[in-house]
Chains A and B, each alone.
Chain A
Amino acid sequence: MFVSNPFALLAQSIPPFVMQIYVVLMILAVALGTLFDVYHKGSAEFFAQRRKKSQAAAQRQLAGWQVASLAARTIGKEVVTSGEFCKWQRQASHLLIMYGFLIYLITTLLMVFVYPRAARTPTAVTALWNIGGLMVLAGGLWFFFALKVNVAYEKHSPFRLIRADLFVGSLLASVAFGLLWHLVQTAHRPGAASLFLLACYLFFTTLLFVSVPWSKFSHMFYKPVAAFQKRLEEANGSSDLPAPAKTSNIKG
């Protein structure tokens, strides 16, 4: 399973360009969905207004290098290490999902576009595709069954699905069916089971990328902007938060 390319095996029955067209359509769906999301929710306008208010209330003007430094720190903390989370369990789960998804996505693109028919896809690529998928499943299932706030604090059943589950649910289903399909495929059992798993994989993958305007998918674009804006307001003195306390009240 870790050494074979699932898409090269699929290419025996479906021409590679069909898979490539599907991938391009999904990329377009994400781009269009994100643009629609930004327009519909007015998030770009919201951040532009907030930026203007922040500049008007600024107590000191920041130099270009200071803004660049803030952007670098935002990328270094909030983006790369998911440092926004205050609980290590949620941070770890998010990191597993984020890096697992990135690895899974990049290796999928490589296998579909670079090695669609290659009998010898580098083992590193195929292994990383599986490892990425397993990382998504580990982080995602941990989140879905134990860390989801409505499950952990409101004591709802994890299966009581809400719209906020659309992203994580379709991602988990897509990856799980992808891995299961590959498992059945490599066990040399083509047939109804393999076809059914492939259909489920395609359905949930399409749902994941097409549902961007209704799901949390676009959080990966606007959350870094929100984190950067927060840092900017603190640095230029326009933050509306009170100043930190001067003394500690903790005894001992």
Chain B
Amino acid sequence: MPTYVDMTRCDGCGECVEICPSDIMHIDRTYRRAYNIEPNFCWECYSCVKACPQNAIDVRGYADFAPMGHKVRVRREKEKGSVSWRIKYRDGRVKEFTFPIRTTPWGSIKAPDSYAAPDMKALSSPLLSHEPTALNVAALPMLASAKK
């Protein structure tokens, strides 16, 4: 189900433009509001839905299983780390679901460029960059041969 923007709610902050992995959230040239330029290419990851501070991005259901008359609205609450969905079916039934989207405070995850660059010795280590500290554990289990 690709996303679309309610332009009366959007304030053109650009959060969805920055986060969209498919690079299909762009800025309208007339009103400077966000819009999905190509719903066919939407990955349906809903990163934009979860990033929108104005709850301006909704989901458009495919016509085969969600025919005209339905509605899907989304509320993102970053202070609670949750996203709630309200599905209004064509026959008028309404269902609501709430899901956790993160357990750490918004903005607390460090961006990759804020870590120091690893040295060349790290190439021979089975650990990935900044493991195990980035995983908040003291150590990771490793094969005895890899420890040498």
Q: Please give the residue numbers on chain A whose beta carbons come within 8 Å of chain B beta carbons, in ascending order.
A: 84-87, 90, 148-150, 152-154, 162-164, 216, 226, 229-230, 240-252
The reply to whether B104 and A164 contact each other, CB–CB distance below 8 Å, is no
Question: Are B81 and A150 interface neighbours, CB within 8 A?
Answer: no
Q: Please state if B75 and A149 are interface contacts (CB–CB under 8 Å).
A: no
A-B residue pairs in contact (CB < 8 Å), sample of 14: A149-B13, A149-B14, A150-B27, A153-B18, A153-B27, A162-B32, A216-B32, A230-B9, A244-B80, A244-B84, A249-B102, A249-B103, A250-B80, A252-B104
8 Å CB contact of B32 from A150, A242, A246 = A150
Q: Are B29 and A162 in contact (CB under 8 A)?
A: yes
Interface SS majority for chain A: loop
Given the complex, which residues of A lie within 8 Å of B34, measured CB to CB? 149
Q: Which B residue's beta carbon lies closest to that of A245? A: B82
B residues adjacent to A (C-beta < 8 A) = 8-9, 11-14, 17-18, 26-32, 34, 53-55, 71, 73-75, 77, 79-82, 84-86, 88, 96-98, 100-105
Residues of chain A lying within 8 A (CB to CB) of residue B8: 226, 229-230
CA distance A246 to B81 in the complex (A): 11
Do residues A247 and B29 form an inter-chain contact, with CB atoms below 8 A?
no
B25 vs chain A, min Cβ distance (A): 9
Report A45 CB to chain B, min CB distance, Å.
14
